[in-house]
Amino acid sequence: MWIGLRRTECAVRIVLLCAITAQRYSPPTQTPQSACSWVCRVRREFSLKISLLGYYYFNRKRKPQITLIDPSEKYQLRLVDKEIISHDTRRFRFALPSPEHILGLPVGKHVYLSARIDGNLIVRPYTPVSSDDDKGFVDLVVKIYFKNVHPKFPEGGKMSQYLESLRIGDVIDFRGPGGLLEYKGQGCFAIQADKKAPAETKTVRTLGLIAGGTGITPMLQLVRDIIKNSSDTTTCSLLFANQTEKDILLKDELEEIQARHPDRFKLWFTVDRAPADWEYSEGFISAEMIQEHLPPPSDDSMILMCGPPPMIQFACNPNLDKLSYRQSQRFVY
């Protein structure tokens, strides 16, 4: 049906062009030579207009098809690839409905994955590491929390272990977009106080990002979007906390971004247990780390945080309070 409508549109345009051409060049009532010249002119102009119309029709930019049309609907996506990044980290690639589809996830938003595990419906939020520049697939980088590894969580992570168990060809439900923050570009954010509240805009010139563990994925999503737009002058400073150096997700990519864009993106790590040759910080996030590596409190800056709740509650917010950052100058994913 879509093709039929497009053909009809094209035919209508051709008829209109014929009418316009006929009006502009009415046949002369002169010699046979004049009549021949008139026919040649009409043919040349008609051919030119048909060529231009064909170029426009086949080369115009079409809007991509969006997967996440309705935030309340679930969309089954099929696992097509699984890459082992480290002993406990995987990159999962899921196919979108067609090679021309994009996910349709605004920057700052996340998706929800849901599955019935051991008879219970489990739902978890994830921020893709792919973007809407990528057609036909969505990528998730997930840390697998295995059983009997962490003494406080002997059962491990239900969703991450479920994802680890998926085989190529298996499907899982996606839903979205979700979240209370959206990046509009040029330092402008739309932020909701809660799901029912209207979004308020806030524009800043510099961002301080604090991430812990897998909380790096929304930060990377944001940094990538800012960096790829050369007209976006927003600068970013990232303080990334992990237990050990080997736990740092996407370290190579983050370091590459900093190397390529040192004036736009600054990166600093802290780990609980540092190796002997470690050149960054050691220990929990402190006021000194924030003061040294993130922008100072200002109406032109904002602090974004994503990580384990204890990190936010006991390390980030108390130290931000100590340094006089107002609540309006911070946001927790």
Class (C level, CATH) for 181-332: alpha beta
Task: Give the pLDDT confidence score for residue 55 in this predicted structure.
Answer: 54
Q: Which of 252, 248, 219, 251 is nearest to 236 (CA)?
A: 219
Annotation says 126 is catalytic: yes
Catalytic residue among 110, 145, 234, 325: 110
Task: Give the pLDDT confidence score for residue 151 in this predicted structure.
Answer: 81
d(CA 297, CA 234): 16
DSSP code at position 245: G
**What's the CATH code, domain 65-178?**
2.40.30.10
DSSP code at position 246: G
Annotation says 150 is catalytic: no
Q: Which residues of the chain have pLDDT under 50?
A: 1-8, 11-12, 14-15, 18
Q: How confident is the model over 72-128, as pLDDT tens digits? A: 999 999 999 999 999 999 999 999 999 999 999 999 999 999 999 999 999 999 999
Catalytic residue among 67, 89, 127, 214: 127
What is the value of pTM for the model shown? 0.81
**Three-state DSSP state, 58:** helix
The answer to whether 174 is annotated as binding is no
Helices (H), 191-263: 216-228, 251-260
Catalytic residue among 306, 316, 325, 333: 306
Domain(s) of CATH 3.40.50.80: residues in the chain: 181-332
d(CA 294, CA 104): 31
Task: Give the pLDDT confidence score for residue 47 in this predicted structure.
Answer: 63
Annotation says 10 is catalytic: no
Task: Give the pLDDT confidence score for residue 2 in this predicted structure.
Answer: 44
The answer to whether 154 is annotated as binding is no
Task: Give the pLDDT confidence score for residue 43 in this predicted structure.
Answer: 63
The answer to whether 99 is annotated as binding is no
The answer to whether 206 is annotated as binding is no
The answer to whether 43 is annotated as binding is no
Cβ 11 vs Cβ 27: under 8 Å: no
Task: Give the pLDDT confidence score for residue 62 in this predicted structure.
Answer: 72
Torsion, Cα 226 231 232 236, to 10 degrees, reads: 70
Burial class (CB in 10 A: 0-12, 13-18, 19+), 307: buried
Q: How confident is the model over 54-75, as pLDDT tens digits? A: 555 555 557 889 999 999 999 9
Cβ 241 vs Cβ 270: under 8 Å: yes
Task: Give the pLDDT confidence score for residue 61 in this predicted structure.
Answer: 59
d(CA 258, CA 250): 13
Radius of gyration over alpha carbons of the chain, in Å? 27
Cβ 272 vs Cβ 243: under 8 Å: yes
The answer to whether 124 is annotated as binding is yes
Task: Give the pLDDT confidence score for residue 152 in this predicted structure.
Answer: 78
Annotation says 57 is catalytic: no
Task: Give the pLDDT confidence score for residue 192 in this predicted structure.
Answer: 98
Domain(s) of CATH 2.40.30.10: residues in the chain: 65-178
